[in-house]
Amino acid sequence: MLHADQALGKYKVVSMLGSGGFGSVYLAVDTWLDKKVALKVPHRQNLNFSELLREPRLLATLDHPNIVSVTTAEKQDDIFFIVMEYVPSETLETVIAASGQFEIDRAVDHALQIARAVEHAHAQDIIHRDLRPGNVLVSEAGTLKVADFGTARVIEIAARGTTIIGSPPYMAPEQFRGEAVFASDLYSLGITVYQMLTGALPYQAPTPSDLDRLQRGELVRSPRLLNGAIPTALSDVVMQALAPKVANRYQRASEFIVDLERVRDGRRATPPPSAAPNAVPPRNGAPETSVSQIQGPRGASGTPAGGFCWHCRKPLHARADHCPFCGEAP
């Protein structure tokens, strides 16, 4: 552990910013440039040098306004550390704890910023594997930056890995089997969006006995049951991100972004309920777009083929007038 005023080469430690399972982060000053930076010091300093360099090398391939950037990696006084941009901020986890559920437009804006960061990382074949509010920084200006790529892996390695990596309440079902794909990050993002919209997790860390229920999708209920102000279209987006089977989930962040943008644009185009009868109609003359309109026609009863609820994809009786799992009308 470093202490205040400790010098590492040209860097002078000011204070600790936080500590996690893989390392501690400190506020420091680059004394040559008189500039504040963040120093990440891995806990396991005895790893071979190539393993210590893995995270900064991954970060060096990423250049996006919603991802914390890396400056360099150094070793001073036998201490290896990563030099990163310093972002005066709180974690999204802290903000959610203080605010509870977010206003809808704010949640959508935050979700889009994170999704764009994920899209950029995936374009470099990098899976984060531990995407959660505690690893997202919220600046004073409202800019979000994804941080902590210490558990990230290149897709070819992550897909066949056997080590279980992640934070259980945010892990996709396949991650409990030691597997990770692009859609695993999108599941974690879906949990994060759910938490922003409702102020609560859809479920706590699943116990071993809960894993079968997680695989069947029985632990996740529609966020609209906790917050009736959530538009159906947005609830659909979240539930698709949280589909237990990878094949039924968003496969690419770009797909997630398109649906979030349509929800956002639909809200901008639709007058509020209190608007006068002669209010200006939506720009495109159409009501709010739902995910069901985006993804194509349903069956005659309004449910997908096979008798499943369109919203939560649970089994649904053909004559049911509402889903017993999520409460939505079919």
Active site residues: 140
CA torsion, ordered 168, 171, 174, 180, to nearest 10 deg: -120
At a CB cut-off of 8 Å and minimum separation 6, what does 320 contact? Answer: 330
Q: Which of 297, 294, 274, 322 lies closest to 233, judged by CA?
A: 294
Token pair for residue 241?
Answer: 């991100």
Q: Which of 111, 146, 66 lies closest to 260, judged by CA?
A: 111
CB under 8 A, 24+ apart: contacts of 262-269: 262/233, 262/289, 262/294, 263/108, 263/231, 263/233, 263/234, 263/237, 263/288, 263/289, 264/105, 264/108, 264/109, 264/112, 265/289, 266/231, 266/233, 267/104, 267/105, 267/108, 267/231
CA torsion, ordered 255, 257, 262, 265, to nearest 10 deg: -160
Give me the amino acid identity at 210: D
Number of other residues whose CB lies within 10 A of the CB of residue 94: 14
Token pair for residue 156?
Answer: 């070819």
Token pair for residue 146?
Answer: 């994804």
Q: Distance (Å, rounded) from C-alpha 59 to C-alpha 64? A: 10
Number of other residues whose CB lies within 10 A of the CB of residue 88: 10
Please state, in angstroms and as integers, the Cα–Cα distance from residue 192 to each residue in 22, 112, 170, following that order.
21, 12, 8
Token pair for residue 162?
Answer: 């056997």
